[in-house]
Homo-oligomer: A and B are copies of this chain.
Amino acid sequence: MKRKPGIWKGRTTMEKIAILGAGNGGHAVAADLGRQGYETSIYSRSAATLEALTARGGVAYTGCFGEGFSPIKTITPNIEEAIDGARIIIITVPTIALTWYAHLLAPYLNESHTVMLNPGHTGGGLHFVQTLREAGNAKEVRTCETITLTYGCRIRGPALVWIPLAMTNLRLAAFPGKHLDALFPTIHTLFPNVVPGTNVLETGLTDLNAMEHPPGMLLNAAWIEHTKGNFRFYFDGVSPAVARVIQGMDDERMRILRALNERAGLDMRVMSFIEYFYEAGLTSRAALESGDMYQALQESEPNKPIQAPDSLDHRYVNEDVGFGLVPMVEIGRWVGIECPTTEALVRLACVMMKRDYWHEGLTLAKMGVDQVPVERVGEFLWEGHL
């Protein structure tokens, strides 16, 4: 199944692919694309993060792709060097860092670039483009995004990444949406696990991490703080009562999607958490058929062994509340759907972490849609502006 470069339909020359961010996701993308024979560059704003990669000249991997080593042609903390000659730029950073990356890239991006946010989380792509524009970039940059990282993966040693699974049926949406048809074949060649999504709100509003992580963290706060996370996060940490909160949030999420479809004449799929979870290869057929949230989470074999974080000060709260739940509540407000359960978790997170996630998270203004009437959202998502 090894793919050779240069076989993309309509292309005859190989293109360099730039990977920005050298955390778990950046390591995994470099490993996978290298494994497939692509030429890659990798950038990190922290030179220290790159040391091990530089020392080995690439990244080793284990997991669902077997064992191997992928060379990386350019390993650099210099953004110009990283993106030089690359028309495909894959950003694999926490969404909390996207503002910073948009400012970094604003001077360089233009209509020739395709930027993939891997992942974009909820509203991350809209926020990224809005920040580019605020930073003075008036070009129509083609962006696309998935809701979650294309792999389950963890760095396991110096320049060594473990990739236990590739997500399946992961929706990819573009902004402006009109570019999806042109983009999709390219991205699908790189990531055969993506399927086309309707628009970035459809993908953004399927944020499974935001549904799972904050309840698992906040509703087990003292357990995490007392034991430093010494329990299985998704298995022990999601009891029937916690699963009911996740279900409550999921009901609100689906109400928002339905209201958007109705008010804006859109045709986004309204799928439940359990349906997505099953589609992504994360739970059993029996759980899907039961429709029971607790069963779906208990029967997630890939998630089962994962330990809880050792502190609440973790991206499961800081990212998934501010860049998952806050934009969900904001979009809900926009379409007139109340989200009391989701709001309750945001509020508790603010009090527990002494942070104002309402302010630091993704508001409608940061996503660039506060002036967009809900009725015209379809046009906005397609054209990239009104």
Contacts and interface: CB of A to CB of B under 8 A. Distances in A.
A348 interface: yes
A217 to B, nearest CB: 9
A382 interface: no
Given A245-B348, A245-B352, A222 B220 contact: yes
Contacts of A353: 241
A376 interface: no
A241 B347 contact: no
Contacts of A218: 219
Contact of A348 (B222, B223, B247, B341): B341
Contact of A223 (B222, B340, B345, B354): B222
Contact of A236 (B222, B247, B348): B222
Contacts of A225: 239-242
A172 interface: no
A351 B222 contact: no
Q: In this complex, which of A237, A345, A352 has the most chain B Cβ atoms within 10 angstroms of its Cβ?
A: A352
Interface in A300-352: 312, 340-341, 343-345, 347-348, 351-352
Contact of A221 (B224, B241, B248, B347): B241
B341 A241 contact: no
Contacts of A179: none
A351 B242 CA distance: 9
A238 B223 CA distance: 9
A236 to B, nearest CB: 5
Nearest to A216: B222
A226 interface: yes
A191 interface: no
A222 B245 contact: no
A344 to B, nearest CB: 4
8 contacts: A219-B220, A225-B241, A225-B242, A226-B236, A241-B352, A241-B353, A247-B351, A341-B348
Given A219-B222, A226-B237, A245-B351, 15 more contacts: A220-B220, A220-B223, A222-B223, A222-B239, A223-B223, A224-B239, A225-B239, A225-B242, A226-B239, A242-B352, A245-B348, A245-B352, A340-B347, A341-B351, A344-B347
